[in-house]
Amino acid sequence: MKIEGAAALITGGASGLGLAVAEMIADAGGLVGILDINEPAAREVAERLGGIALSCDVTNEHAMDAAIAELQDRSSMAFRIVMNCAGIGPAKRIVGRDGPMPLDDFAKVININLIGSFNAMRAGSAAIAQTPPLEEGERGVIISTASVAAFDGQIGQAAYSASKGGIAALTLPAARELSRFGIRVLTIAPGIMDTPMAAGLPEKVIDGLAKLAPFPNRLGTPQEFAALAQHMIENRLMNGEVVRLDGAIRLP
Ligand SMILES: NC(=O)c1ccc[n+]([C@@H]2O[C@H](COP(=O)([O-])OP(=O)(O)OC[C@H]3O[C@@H](n4cnc5c(N)ncnc54)[C@H](O)[C@@H]3O)[C@@H](O)[C@H]2O)c1
């Protein structure tokens, strides 16, 4: 599918990986809807890229429906792309020094990362299904962001890994179900990427993680992530797959 002339919803589009995808889509001639809980940052990015800022918490069903309706109303381009990048990655042990992890801490990560991604998928696919079909009946694509922690999660990543494993597991059944509308579903599972989220970790931890990648032996860049997202949007045969983007890293 061509990006030029298509409108895209990018959750978490105000920072890191989502921001890089927004820049790529705007460069390619698409219109970006920057959906983020960080309203001032979403506004700044949308203004710079000629897009539309959508202030929304991805866990809110009605706010998501309203954000997509607003994007469709204000866009002159057909809505065809959902890019799920909103997420959080706090680390906490199941049993820590203060006893068991509070259930709310686990639920919060599942709610934002997994249920938030599904929220954009459910509302986004219903809207994309109403657009006129393109070549071969294709209407659009939904790309979510998992993590290598979906497959080799470390100690302290129980909630995060479970949320990302859910996103990975959702990919194939969603691709199968949405195929009747000509909507493809894909997931990227990045390794350690150089974004504000990673910058929140202690420098020693980040240095240690970056060195684990066999080649290239460094953090991934948001632009490398956006390049894969671009290929996924443009290559119609890509569907129902989770692709690792990680320099062959395997978290110990
Ligand atoms: N950076 C990494 O190393 C890495 C590795 C693997 C996977 N990921 C995943 O990639 C995605 C993007 O991460 P990033 O590194 O760009 O992080 P980031 O912190 O730079 O960006 C995340 C964005 O999501 C927004 N957000 C958070 N909660 C939200 C909510 N409830 N509703 C709406 N917006 C919300 C934030 O405001 C922020 O703008 C996340 O899902 C993350 O888990 C990141």
Give domain status of residue 100, yes or no. Answer: yes
Read off the pLDDT of residues 191-222 as tens digits, 9 standing for 90 and up: 999 999 888 888 888 888 888 999 999 999 99
- What's the domain count of the chain? 1
CATH of the domain at 186: 3.40.50.720
pLDDT at 199: 86
Read off the pLDDT of residues 148-178 as tens digits, 9 standing for 90 and up: 999 999 999 999 999 999 999 999 999 999 9
- Which residues are marked as active site? 160
CA of 132 to the centre of ligand 1 (A): 32
Name residue, tokens 């920057």.
34
CA of 86 to the centre of ligand 1 (A): 4
Give domain status of residue 197, yes or no. Answer: yes
Atom 40 in ligand 1: which residue has the minimum CA distance?
87
Task: Tell me what the mean pLDDT of segment 65-80 comes to.
Answer: 97
Read off the pLDDT of residues 78-107 as tens digits, 9 standing for 90 and up: 999 999 999 999 999 999 999 999 999 999
Read off the pLDDT of residues 22-64 as tens digits, 9 standing for 90 and up: 999 999 999 999 999 999 999 999 999 999 999 999 999 999 9
Atom 1 in ligand 1: which residue has the minimum CA distance?
193
Please give the C-alpha separations between residue 163 and each of 37, 85, 139, 177, in angstroms, as whole numbers.
19, 13, 28, 21
Which candidate, 187, 106, 204, places its Cα nearest to that of 146? 187
Give domain status of residue 192, yes or no. Answer: yes
- Residues 191 and 252: beta-carbon distance below 8 Å: no
pTM (2 d.p.): 0.98
Give domain status of residue 168, yes or no. Answer: yes
pLDDT at 100: 98
pLDDT at 107: 98
CA of 12 to the centre of ligand 1 (A): 6
Domain that holds residue 45: 6-245
